[in-house]
Chains A and B, each alone.
Chain A
Amino acid sequence: MNTLATIALGETVYVDDFQGNPLVIDRLQDMGFIPGSKVSLFSTLSGTMAVEVRGSKIAMRKEDASCVLIRHASSCD
Chain B
Amino acid sequence: MPPVFSFDTPPLVTKSKSPLALLFVGHPNSGKTTLFNQFTGSHFKTMNYPGSTVTYTTSTWKTATTSVMVMDTPGILSLSPHSEDEAVTIDTLTTLHLLIPGHTPHPDGLVVVIDASQPLRQLGLLHQLLATGLPVVVALTMIDVAQKRGLLIDWKGFQDKIDAPVVPINGRSGEGVQLLKDVCMFTLLQKKSMPTPSIPPIFSQAQRTLQFGWADDMSQAFFISKSPSKKTFDLDRIVLDPIWGWILFLGIMGCLFWSIFWLTAPCMDGIAAGFDYVGHLFTLICPPSWGRRLLVEGLLPGLSAVAVFVPQIACLFFLLNLLESSGYLARGATLVDRPLSRIGLNGKSFVPLLSGFACAIPAMMATRTITGKKERLLTLAVIPLMTCSARLPVYGLLLSNLVGKSHPFLAGLGMGLLYMGSIACASLMALVGGKLLQLPKSNLGFQIELPTWHCPVWRHVFVQVWHQTLGFIKKAGPIIVVISLILWVLSSYPTPASSLTMRWGPYLSPIVAPLGVDWRVGVALFLSFSAREVFVSALLLMGVKGTMIGTSSCVGLLVFFMISMQCLATLAIAKKETGSWRLPLIVSLFYSILAYILAIGVVQFLHILGVS
Q: Which residues of A contact B (CB under 8 A)?
A: 18, 21, 23-24, 26-32, 34-37, 42-48, 50, 53-61, 63-64
Identify 12 residue pairs between A and B in the complex whose beta-carbon atoms are under 8 Å apart, listed by A's number.
A21-B443, A27-B77, A30-B78, A42-B240, A45-B334, A45-B335, A46-B242, A48-B334, A50-B236, A57-B236, A58-B449, A59-B331
Picked from A55, A59, A63, A64, the residue with its CB within 8 Å of the CB of B118 is A55
Q: Are A48 and B337 in contact (CB under 8 A)?
A: yes
**A32: min CB distance to chain B, Å:** 4
Q: Are A58 and B448 in contact (CB under 8 A)?
A: yes
**A8: min CB distance to chain B, Å:** 15
Q: Are B82 and A46 in contact (CB under 8 A)?
A: no
The CA of A61 and the CA of B445, in the complex, are separated in Å by 7
**A50: min CB distance to chain B, Å:** 5
Task: Give the number of chain B interface residues (Cβ < 8 Å).
Answer: 44
Q: A46 to chain B: which residues have CB within 8 Å?
A: 242, 338
Q: Are A21 and B236 in contact (CB under 8 A)?
A: no
Q: Are A56 and B449 in contact (CB under 8 A)?
A: yes
Stretch at the interface among B100-108, B204-212, B385-393: B204-212
Q: B371 to chain A: which residues have CB within 8 Å?
A: 27
Q: A23 to chain B: which residues have CB within 8 Å?
A: 82, 443-444
Given contacts A48-B347, A59-B334, contact A32 B447 (CB under 8 A): no
Closest 7 CB pairs of A and B: A47-B338, A43-B240, A54-B120, A57-B450, A64-B445, A59-B334, A30-B77
Q: Which residues of B contact A (CB under 8 A)?
A: 77-78, 80, 82, 117-121, 124, 202-203, 205, 208-209, 212-213, 215, 234, 236-237, 240-242, 245, 330-331, 333-335, 337-338, 341, 347, 371, 443-450, 452
Q: Are A30 and B208 in contact (CB under 8 A)?
A: yes
**A58: min CB distance to chain B, Å:** 6
Given contacts A47-B338, A59-B330, A64-B447, contact A27 B82 (CB under 8 A): yes
Picked from B82, B240, B347, B450, the residue with its CB within 8 Å of the CB of A30 is B82
**B374: min CB distance to chain A, Å:** 14
The CA of A56 and the CA of B119, in the complex, are separated in Å by 10
Given contacts A55-B118, A57-B449, A59-B334, 9 further A-B pairs with CB under 8 A are A27-B371, A27-B447, A30-B78, A34-B205, A34-B208, A48-B446, A56-B120, A57-B450, A60-B447
Q: Are A43 and B338 in contact (CB under 8 A)?
A: no
The CA of A46 and the CA of B333, in the complex, are separated in Å by 13
The CA of A22 and the CA of B308, in the complex, are separated in Å by 52
Given contacts A26-B82, A34-B208, A45-B334, contact A59 B447 (CB under 8 A): yes
The CA of A23 and the CA of B202, in the complex, are separated in Å by 11
Most interface-central of B119, B121, B333 (chain A CB within 10 A): B121
Given contacts A26-B82, A28-B447, A50-B450, contact A61 B241 (CB under 8 A): no
Q: A18 to chain B: which residues have CB within 8 Å?
A: 205
Picked from B337, B443, B444, the residue with its CB within 8 Å of the CB of A47 is B337
The CA of A37 and the CA of B211, in the complex, are separated in Å by 13
Q: Are B120 and A45 in contact (CB under 8 A)?
A: no
**B603: min CB distance to chain A, Å:** 41
Q: A61 to chain B: which residues have CB within 8 Å?
A: 337, 341, 445-447
Q: Are B449 and A31 in contact (CB under 8 A)?
A: yes
The CA of A43 and the CA of B407, in the complex, are separated in Å by 44
Q: Are A43 and B236 in contact (CB under 8 A)?
A: yes
Q: B447 to chain A: which residues have CB within 8 Å?
A: 24, 27-28, 31, 58-61, 64
The CA of A36 and the CA of B208, in the complex, are separated in Å by 12
**A74: min CB distance to chain B, Å:** 12
Most interface-central of B78, B330, B450 (chain A CB within 10 A): B450
Q: B234 to chain A: which residues have CB within 8 Å?
A: 42
The CA of A37 and the CA of B237, in the complex, are separated in Å by 23
Q: B245 to chain A: which residues have CB within 8 Å?
A: 45
Given contacts A43-B240, A48-B347, A50-B236, contact A56 B208 (CB under 8 A): no
**B87: min CB distance to chain A, Å:** 14
**A25: min CB distance to chain B, Å:** 8
Q: B241 to chain A: which residues have CB within 8 Å?
A: 43
Q: B120 to chain A: which residues have CB within 8 Å?
A: 32, 54-56
The CA of A35 and the CA of B333, in the complex, are separated in Å by 28
**A35: min CB distance to chain B, Å:** 6
